[in-house]
Structure 1
Amino acid sequence: MVFITEESIKEFQTLMEEIAEPLKKTFQNVHQGYPSGTLIRFLKARDGNVSKAHKMLVDSLNWRIQNEIDDILTKPIIPTDLYRGLRDSYLMGMSGYSKEGLPVIAIGVGLSMFDKASIHYYIQSHIQMNEYRDRVILPSATKKFGRHISTCIKVLDMTGLKLSALNHIKITTVLSTIDDQNYPEKTDTYFIVNAPYIFSACWKVVRPLLQERTRKKVQVLSGSGRDELLKIMDYASLPHFCKKEGSSSSRYSRNGTYDDCFSLDHSFHEQLYNYTKEQAKLLEADALIKQGSFHVDFPEPDPEGAKIAQTIETEFQRLGNQNGVSNSLRGIKINAD
């Protein structure tokens, strides 16, 4: 476990006082009034090494300036049908809050297809959700719960995970690298639910490659994880794919009776989308609204991330090459009756 000392924080603060003014300006959007907390996050991401943490943060601030990240919430993805297609093919949303006030972010890993638009739109949408979380959701939670809240909980639904997930490994690696390099230590716990055999087999291989602090954050729950998750959040905050009991937990309908937190019609996405349109109007950004996707430079994955991605790909291929496994996995359903 990394222990961050007061001395290292002060040393980091001194280094940040020397950065250029444009970097200081974008740093304000990052720390949202809690600069020390941000320094601690980057220190944790670099195992307490001040020099490496400083380089990581400065690189991230430069990335924000070069890619105009501070303005990304003024650039809605239009038309609405295109954005709806993104939401239907990249399943991610917010279902509520934990009992401690942490936002609950739901991700449909197994059923996300990333097939409705170019990679640039998915990256734009992903970063917009990150920025909306950090600039709107977390400050609001901090005010509501009366304490500084800077992290979230993520519930990853593995329903429908198949060998075809290899087709998405490039874009998922890009998205995870963006998070690792520019939004470190923003997730308190990752809960894996509805995990099929293919995930379990890969997890055994990938888990030892993760850093200890990351391994401790990941919890693989039985079935839909409903009972375990209810210990830390109310029923209303459960992602829709966790609300059923028993072995049929994964057989939910995305248009059924449960509140689909992935859909554009969910309150979280409606509020986020309306927020970006309102911000565009406030800045008289009509010209920007008419433009195409918002291009962000693809980050290069660090060696550790590249190794993990390669390991996942190799393990998927190994499973697919086993006699009889490929055919059975193509039609696998999590916890099927």
Structure 2
Amino acid sequence: MESSHKHNGEEGNRMMKNSIEKEQHELGLMRTFVESQDPTSKEVDDKTLRRFLRARDLNVDKASAMFLKYLKWKRTFIPNGFISESEISNELAQKKMFLQGHDKEGRPIGVAFGAKHFPNKAKGGLDEFKRFVVYVIEKMCSRMPGDQEKFTAIADVQGWGYSNCDIRAYLGALSILQDCYPERLGKLYLVHVPYIFMTAWKIIYPFIDNNTKNKIVFVDNKKLTSTLLETIDESQLPEIYGGKLALVPIEEDS
């Protein structure tokens, strides 16, 4: 019995080693190709390239195309390399995004309130909302410790109604998350989900890739605190969900 356990362990280790070597090999091929297409790729670290590679199941061609498209997008959409708060003032004024604490794996936690979002009728419109999404993701990434590459999000849709429904904005956010920040989302908890929200969800769902679908959890109201406590320590969980932390608006997070 002991020898079969040992054999299984060795087999597992061998497979793990092979898979790491394969990923490393594909990463080398990808780097050579993207650098030949866009010399600015040289400034990008292996970790970033690896996220694009994993998002396309180690398919070098698909991952390279995805990454080169991202570089082009970044140059046009974030010409300064970052989004300043003055560019997203209408979005920040809605006070719908909060950021504090880390889950048990060290992933920073963001909390978004769907009922505080109203379609942006101001001059910035959908583009300003997309800049806001980039600002939020970049802010969460900047709070990742050490080797952590993912964040955890809680989308609270309590009180959400048709006046909050903004399919173009949701699809815009999804596209940015999946196409420009692949493998950044660790887990997305949907909490206090009203029945009416499911009408919007049915429209959005087909656009969510399988990798992302696997990270989405609809939380039962009756098990809200216990479900969140499985991955978030009480000291890091917002007070409104039975934890100990007060919510901090994202722009006030240092």
Bucket of the pairwise TM-score, normalised by the shorter protein: 0.7 to 0.9
Which residue of structure 2 lines up, in the alignment, with residue 22 of structure 1?
40
Query: TM-score under structure 1 normalisation?
Result: 0.59
Deviations 1:309-331 (A, max 9, x none): xxxxxxxxxxxxxxxxxxxxxxx
The 2-side partners of 1:271 and 1:39 are apart by 28
Mapped pair 1:10 → 2:8: no
The 1-side partners of 2:174 and 2:95 are apart by 14
Which residue of structure 2 lines up, in the alignment, with residue 130 of structure 1?
137
Higher RCO structure (Cα 8 Å, ≥6 apart): 1
Q: Secondary structure at the match of 1:62?
A: helix
* C-alpha contact (below 8 Å) 1:4/1:48 kept by paired residues: no
Query: Aligned AA for 1:260?
Result: L
Identity %: 22
Q: Which of 74, 97, 102 in structure 2 is aligned with 1:64?
A: 74
Alignment of 1:98-117 (within 5 A): 98-115=103-120, 117=122
After TM superposition, give the deviation of residue 6 of structure 1 in Å.
3.0
Q: Secondary structure at the match of 2:115?
A: coil
Alignment of 1:67-82 (within 5 A): 67-69=77-79, 71-73=81-83, 75-77=84-86
Which residue of structure 2 lines up, in the alignment, with residue 191 of structure 1?
189
How many residues matched?
A: 231
Structure 1 spans left out of the alignment, 5+ residues:
143-147, 245-257, 273-337
Alignment of 1:27-38 (within 5 A): 27=44, 31=45, 35=46, 37-38=47-48
Deviations 1:244-273 (A, max 9, x none): 8xxxxxxxxxxxxx8333x3xxxx52245x
Which residue of structure 1 lines up, in the alignment, with residue 3 of structure 2?
none
The alignment yields a C-alpha RMSD, in angstroms, of: 3.1
Query: Aligned AA for 1:195?
Result: V
* C-alpha contact (below 8 Å) 2:161/2:196 kept by paired residues: yes
* C-alpha contact (below 8 Å) 1:23/1:62 kept by paired residues: no
Closer, same or farther in 2 for the Cα pair 1:174/1:137, shift >3 Å?
Answer: same
The 1-side partners of 2:24 and 2:160 are apart by 42
Query: Aligned AA for 1:71?
Result: G
Query: TM-score under structure 2 normalisation?
Result: 0.76
* C-alpha contact (below 8 Å) 2:174/2:208 kept by paired residues: no
Deviations 1:176-210 (A, max 9, x none): 21221110110111111101112346657865775
Query: Aligned AA for 1:89?
Result: Q
Which residue of structure 1 lines up, in the alignment, with residue 60 of structure 2?
50
After TM superposition, give the deviation of residue 129 of structure 1 in Å.
2.5
The 2-side partners of 1:45 and 1:93 are apart by 27
* C-alpha contact (below 8 Å) 2:120/2:129 kept by paired residues: no
The 1-side partners of 2:64 and 2:109 are apart by 29
Greater shift, 88-97 or 5-14, is seen at 5-14
The 2-side partners of 1:178 and 1:201 are apart by 22
* C-alpha contact (below 8 Å) 1:110/1:158 kept by paired residues: yes
The 2-side partners of 1:207 and 1:259 are apart by 32
Which residue of structure 1 lines up, in the alignment, with residue 238 of structure 2?
239
The 1-side partners of 2:131 and 2:56 are apart by 26
The 1-side partners of 2:198 and 2:119 are apart by 23
The 1-side partners of 2:239 and 2:176 are apart by 27
Which residue of structure 2 lines up, in the alignment, with residue 221 of structure 1?
219
Closer, same or farther in 2 for the Cα pair 1:171/1:212, shift >3 Å?
Answer: closer
The 2-side partners of 1:173 and 1:206 are apart by 7
Which residue of structure 1 lines up, in the alignment, with residue 12 of structure 2?
none
The 2-side partners of 1:44 and 1:198 are apart by 35
* C-alpha contact (below 8 Å) 1:8/1:50 kept by paired residues: no
**Higher-helix-fraction structure:** 2
Closer, same or farther in 2 for the Cα pair 1:183/1:210, shift >3 Å?
Answer: closer
* C-alpha contact (below 8 Å) 1:12/1:54 kept by paired residues: no
Structure 2 spans left out of the alignment, 5+ residues:
1-17
Mapped pair 1:270 → 2:252: yes
Query: Aligned AA for 2:103?
Result: S
The 2-side partners of 1:114 and 1:179 are apart by 19
